[in-house]
Amino acid sequence: MKWLTIALVLALSSRQAYSYFITVDAHSEECFFDKVDFGTKMGLTFEIAEGGFLDIDVRIVAPDGKVLYDGEQESSGKFTFAAHTPGIYTYCFSNQKGTMTPKVVMFNMDIGETPKQPGADSPAAGAQEGDGPNAKLDDVIKELSTSLWSVKSEQEYMQVRDRNHRTINESTNFRVVVWSFFEATVLVCMTLGQVYYLKRFFEVRRVV
């Protein structure tokens, strides 16, 4: 059991998935880069935490210049792909269409393990890696680590969504209170005006 726990911790620590918060100013663009090998699975997940209408442009470009993903005015999303060529992959968040409002973006790039080389399935490589039961256990641990990372990422994005919804609710409640106060003020002014007008209308004027 202790060995299984240690193996699980090592599997989790070896997986590259980090969450970041960045601020993209108006009329600007923030880009990030990851160098991966051929066939490596990558997944970009993002959520707009605050700013403007909670939208931003997202673009993913391969090392050969091919645009893998190009989204405009998106508030959240997830895009998974496999590297079709080795090299540096670029993913950018653009706020070029923003007027004067910066956007706070939460994102992570989940990078899977490098695929095995063709010679890795040889008998010698299999003997070095271990027996069949250990290999199956290793696969189960990897699948479990992937699931745990997915749950962790989803919890983080749920926290961001909860904060966004709470901000919207508080803003709506504030506007309702202000509008109610304005209506009450107008109603009181109209009532006082009507009383004054009726009083002047029925007032008996004395002529000297």
CB 155 within 8 A of CB 18: no
pTM over 0.85: no
pLDDT band at 18 (very low <50, low <70, confident <90, very high): low
Span 185-195, average pLDDT:
91
Please tell me the distance from the alpha carbon of residue 94 to that of residue 103, in angstroms, as a whole number.
10
Kindly report the CATH number that applies to the domain delimited by 18-112. 2.60.120.680
* Residue 68 pLDDT: 93
* Residue 118 pLDDT: 57
Q: Of 31-40, 67-76, 175-184, 194-203, which gets the smallest average pLDDT? A: 194-203
Domain range list for the chain? 18-112, 137-207
Mean pLDDT of the chain: 79
Cα dist. 110→18, 19, 27, 183 in Å? 7, 9, 27, 52
pLDDT band at 183 (very low <50, low <70, confident <90, very high): very high
What type of residue sits at position 136? K
* Residue 4 pLDDT: 44
> What are 99-144's pLDDT values in tens digits?
688 888 888 888 877 776 655 555 444 444 455 667 777 777 877 8
